[in-house]
Amino acid sequence: MNSGFFLSPPNYDSPAELKSLLETLGFAMQKKFGQNFLIDKKTRENLISFLTLDKGTRVWEVGPGLGAMTYLLLEKGVHLTAFEIDKGFISLLKKFFLENSKQNFRLVEGDVQKNWLPYLREHGKPDVFFGNLPYNIASDLIASTVEAGVVFDTMLFTVQKEAAERITARPDNKNYTAFSVLCSLFYECKIVKTIPASAFWPQPNVESAAVLFKAKKEFAEYKNFKLFIKIVKALFSSRRKNIKNNLGSWMKSNGYGDKIDLVLERSGLSGNLRAESLALYDFLLLSDIIGHL
């Protein structure tokens, strides 16, 4: 490893060395943070290859852990900001990278779900948002960026395969959810790599997948963004119910009265359809119609 760092990082390919390091320093694995280390070097390098990285490219990394991906990113000469919540990892990351990489490396301590937006407002958006996301925060973090109306040029996240299938699902697919619709508003989403559990230590109980998000060159038009999000969630509130029942109930509860038939008539959509059959345009159309009532 590069001796230019303050303390040489471990052999990221060796579970035995990682375990020894953690035990020597008295670190306990925090299951609540969903900690699994990507020990397969080819997979790590493959993930980096999906990104366009030049010297000075601004990158955010979520959950760097012991810094396996951090090391590769800094080797590319990027300006890296890492978000880490685990205090033990924070202390190691400082020793591995911060001492001699101050111009290219920043460490934001704490919960990324609370920190990312304030940090963005102060420092601006990165060119790339990247991370092997802990399974317990993946969907919430991605959804929070969309619901904040913040669009990143490129995002690459490794998530639980089930979450990846929801992100990339299209209408009339069992994995198609409100989350799928939100992701499709701003991004073209594609699973670029499936990663077996054996690539991680400790091994998770599920497969993972890397999802590449590329910002659309043109976004679909919408009149009221917050209303659109509410209506998408309302339409998926009960998958077995049709859109007339789900949307009608939401409208009554939110001050729009008993106007569901009028909305459906104007939209040209059958009330017997279910949300999983609607395309992005249909959700936008319904929200615009309701917004004009």
Q: Does the annotation flag 104 for ligand binding?
A: no
Give whole-number Cα distances, 155 to 101, 218, 275, in Å. Answer: 24, 17, 27
Q: Does the annotation flag 26 for ligand binding?
A: no
* 8 Å CB contact between 154 and 52: yes
* 8 Å CB contact between 95 and 6: yes
* 8 Å CB contact between 39 and 201: yes
Q: Does the annotation flag 268 for ligand binding?
A: no
Distance between start and end Cα atoms, the chain: 63
* Contact partners, residue 236, CB within 8 Å, separation at least 6: 177, 178, 181, 246, 275, 276
Q: Does the annotation flag 153 for ligand binding?
A: no
Q: Which residue(s) pair with 213 in the sheet?
A: 155, 189
* Other beta carbons less than 10 A from residue 291's beta carbon: 14
Amino acid at 2: N
d(CA 121, CA 160): 29
Encoded tokens for 258: 């008993």
Nearest to 80 by CA among 100, 106, 45: 106
Q: Does the annotation flag 111 for ligand binding?
A: yes
Q: Does the annotation flag 218 for ligand binding?
A: no
* 8 Å CB contact between 228 and 287: yes
* Contact partners, residue 233, CB within 8 Å, separation at least 6: 178
Encoded tokens for 72: 């590769």
In the annotated binding site for S-adenosyl-L-methionine, the residues are: 36, 38, 63, 84, 111, 132
In the annotated binding site, the residues are: 36, 38, 63, 84, 111, 132
